[in-house]
Chains A and B, each alone.
Chain A
Amino acid sequence: MALENTLSPLPAGLPGRPVYELRGVSKTYKRRNVHALEKIDLRLTEGSFWAVIGSSGCGKSTLLKIMTGLLSPSEGSVMLSGKPVTGPRRDIGMMFQQPTLFPWRTAVENVVLPIEIRDGKKAALDKYDDARALLDLVGLKGFEQVYPNELSGGMAQRVAICRMLITEPTVLLLDEPFSALDELSRDFMDMELQRICKERNATTFLVTHSIPEAVILSDVVSVMSPRPGRLAATVTIDLPRPRTLDMMTEPRFAALVKQIRDLLDKGAFL
């Protein structure tokens, strides 16, 4: 069957220039004697979208922390654009489930925060025009001077997207970015995310709990299994681009969702 062809035992990735490369990354927390990650191999190519899906506690946060350079792997190597990741880097953009905006800063001040931290207040002031352009890009024109308290959940997440993009990162690491939003906003934000990624040719790594979200956005979806966390299987999503929400009703979409769900069910007992 056609479905079997998309299933490869090792996540080989897609053709193209590799941006992010993880080789045999393992992590053991010695003090607690927890084996969090086991031999993760990942190869994110330029402009591709990779999603990882898995139950809670399967080591996703550990993997993300290693990828951002906040944690060092016990074994293996993490390379980004040919250089090993040894600490926080400005070419990595990160986003969380919560917008994590700071209520004492206006939307535009929140957006330039990464610049202010890395390059100082002066550099941040110079970036205000870029920040406004980004807010415009996500449909928040006119909300530049608004404080986060007055923004809806979806709007706040869009400001967080702008903050992630202001440093012009090469890779975006998204940790369940829209799972706190309602279904309608979530679908909308997924489409926005696709548009932004395409516009900037961003390489994206998404961690999510939602199978449909993973399928509609990604080129490759990996299923992660817990204890120790590893990429149990990888599915290539062959839906044409650009993706639309209408695709969610197509049989091919349903088949892919089912395939991933089956893999997840199996993974839970491994």
Chain B
Amino acid sequence: MTNERTAATEEAVCETVWALEKESWIDRVPRPVTMLLLLLAFLAVWQLVYALKLISHIILPSPFATIADIVTVGVNLLTGDYMLKSLWTTTQEVLLGFMIAVVLGFFLGLLVGETDFGERMVMPYLVAVNAMPKVAFAPLFVSWLGFGIASKVALSAFVALFPVIVGTAAGIHAADQNARMLFRTMGASRWQTLTKLKLPTGMPHFFTGLKNAAVLAVVGAVVGEFLGGGKGFGELIRVAASMINTPRVFALIIYLSMLGLATFGVVIWLQRKLIFWHKETVAEDLFE
């Protein structure tokens, strides 16, 4: 009898625990569905704000008008019309800017992280330059490099450069004391320690820098276009905004962010290939 009671009590306790651990309904819905739900909710709020005229219609278009314009711009892009050429111009600027930032940033990061000279003499200047509002250099780049693609590439690279430097330098410092001591007891040369220990250990930091740089490269290119004209997507946005064509501005921004996402995605893909041992973080998870 006592045993039965104990068993019953135990079962009750178990049930309570299970109830506490039970997933809420939202955890059981597939993620794409929940994401879609959130988007729909957002659009509903937007439509509500629009319908109630809480904000002037000139500033905030209706979601439907915006979606219609997203389709228009999409068709234009797919048929290879002038917008595709603009997007290609901006893509070139972003890719070139990003690549310059990666190569230059890696070597500067190496200089600062690995050499005493770099750390003592170069680092303070880099910190000072990093503290400057980098987009303010745009007019300077335009006057130096003209209204063509070069000035935008330069600004894009300039803006994206610093995260790469920081990531590389932090990566080089990431190897712990024991690992360094182990390499010293193995009689490793400085080059071996760098290539076989410091650089591989620092890869995750380096890639954090690359991810920031991928996003900033787009920012740099577009700001360059705002301030220096040219034929890119930023110019399309500027023109649309000057005509108060707000749905168009929104639509263009959406497609522009695709460019940012694409660069970011390539970096994540590379990261997964190269640093398979590193645990994924939430930000990367988002991109699945």
Q: Which residues of A contact B (CB under 8 A)?
A: 65, 68-70, 87-90, 92, 94, 96-98, 100, 102-104, 113-114, 116-118, 147-149
In the complex, what residues of B have CB within 8 A of residue A69's CB? 185
Q: Contact at B179–A100, with CB atoms within 8 Å?
A: yes
- Considering the complex, give the chain A residue whose CB is closest to the CB of B179: A100
In the complex, what residues of A have CB within 8 A of residue B184's CB? 70, 88
Q: Contact at B186–A96, with CB atoms within 8 Å?
A: no
In the complex, what residues of A have CB within 8 A of residue B187's CB? 87-90, 117-118
In the complex, what residues of B have CB within 8 A of residue A118's CB? 186-187
Q: Contact at A117–B186, with CB atoms within 8 Å?
A: yes
Q: Contact at A104–B200, with CB atoms within 8 Å?
A: yes
Q: State whether A96 and B188 are in contact (beta carbons under 8 Å apart), knowing that A102-B200, A103-B277 are contacts in the complex.
A: no
Q: Hey, what's the 0/1 contact readout for B161-205 against A, CB within 8 Å counting as 1?
A: 000000000000000101101111111100010001100110000
Q: How close is A157's CB to chain B, nearest CB, in angstroms?
A: 13
Distance, CA A100 to CA B183, complexed state (A): 10
Distance, CA A117 to CA B186, complexed state (A): 7
Is B275 located at the chain interface by the 8 A CB criterion? yes
In the complex, what residues of B have CB within 8 A of residue A149's CB? 277
Q: How close is A149's CB to chain B, nearest CB, in angstroms?
A: 6
In the complex, what residues of B have CB within 8 A of residue A116's CB? 196
Q: Contact at B186–A98, with CB atoms within 8 Å?
A: no
Distance, CA A149 to CA B178, complexed state (A): 18
Q: How close is B198's CB to chain A, nearest CB, in angstroms?
A: 11
Distance, CA A114 to CA B182, complexed state (A): 9
Q: Contact at B277–A113, with CB atoms within 8 Å?
A: no
Q: Contact at B181–A117, with CB atoms within 8 Å?
A: no
> How many residues belonging to B are interface residues under a CB distance threshold of 8 Å?
20
- Considering the complex, give the chain B residue whose CB is closest to the CB of A100: B178
Q: State whether A68 and B185 are in contact (beta carbons under 8 Å apart), knowing that A96-B178, A98-B178, A104-B200 are contacts in the complex.
A: yes
Distance, CA A70 to CA B176, complexed state (A): 16
Distance, CA A147 to CA B278, complexed state (A): 11
Task: Tell which of A88, A102, A103, A148 touches B186, judged by Cβ atoms closer than 8 Å.
Answer: A88
Most B-side CB within 10 Å, residue of A70, A87, A94, A104: A104
Q: Which residues of B contact A (CB under 8 A)?
A: 176, 178-179, 181-188, 192, 196-197, 200-201, 275-278
Q: How close is A244's CB to chain B, nearest CB, in angstroms?
A: 31
Q: Contact at B277–A96, with CB atoms within 8 Å?
A: no
- Considering the complex, give the chain B residue whose CB is closest to the CB of A160: B182
Q: State whether A104 and B179 are in contact (beta carbons under 8 Å apart), knowing that A90-B187, A94-B185, A118-B186 are contacts in the complex.
A: no
Distance, CA A96 to CA B176, complexed state (A): 12
Q: A90-B187, A94-B185, A96-B178 are in contact. List 11 more A-B contacts (CB 8 A).
A: A88-B184, A92-B185, A97-B178, A102-B179, A102-B197, A102-B201, A104-B276, A113-B196, A117-B186, A117-B192, A118-B187
Q: How close is B206's CB to chain A, nearest CB, in angstroms?
A: 13
Minimum-distance CB pairs A-B, first 8: A103-B277, A88-B187, A100-B178, A96-B178, A117-B186, A114-B186, A94-B185, A117-B188
Q: How close is A138's CB to chain B, nearest CB, in angstroms?
A: 18
- Considering the complex, give the chain B residue whose CB is closest to the CB of A97: B178
Q: Contact at B185–A113, with CB atoms within 8 Å?
A: no
Q: Contact at A100–B277, with CB atoms within 8 Å?
A: no
Q: Contact at A94–B275, with CB atoms within 8 Å?
A: no
Distance, CA A116 to CA B193, complexed state (A): 12
Distance, CA A114 to CA B178, complexed state (A): 15
Q: Contact at B185–A70, with CB atoms within 8 Å?
A: yes
In the complex, what residues of A have CB within 8 A of residue B182's CB? 94, 96, 100
- Considering the complex, give the chain A residue whose CB is closest to the CB of B182: A100
In the complex, what residues of A have CB within 8 A of residue B276's CB? 104
In the complex, what residues of B have CB within 8 A of residue A114's CB? 186
In the complex, what residues of B have CB within 8 A of residue A97's CB? 178
Q: Contact at A147–B179, with CB atoms within 8 Å?
A: no
Q: Contact at B185–A88, with CB atoms within 8 Å?
A: yes
Distance, CA A87 to CA B188, complexed state (A): 11
- Considering the complex, give the chain B residue whose CB is closest to the CB of A90: B187
Distance, CA A263 to CA B181, complexed state (A): 31
Distance, CA A68 to CA B181, complexed state (A): 10
List 13 A-B residue pairs with CB atoms under 8 Å apart, sorted by A's residue number.
A69-B185, A70-B181, A89-B187, A92-B185, A98-B178, A100-B176, A102-B179, A102-B200, A102-B201, A104-B277, A114-B186, A117-B188, A118-B186
- Considering the complex, give the chain B residue whose CB is closest to the CB of A163: B182
In the complex, what residues of A have CB within 8 A of residue B278's CB? 103
Distance, CA A149 to CA B277, complexed state (A): 7
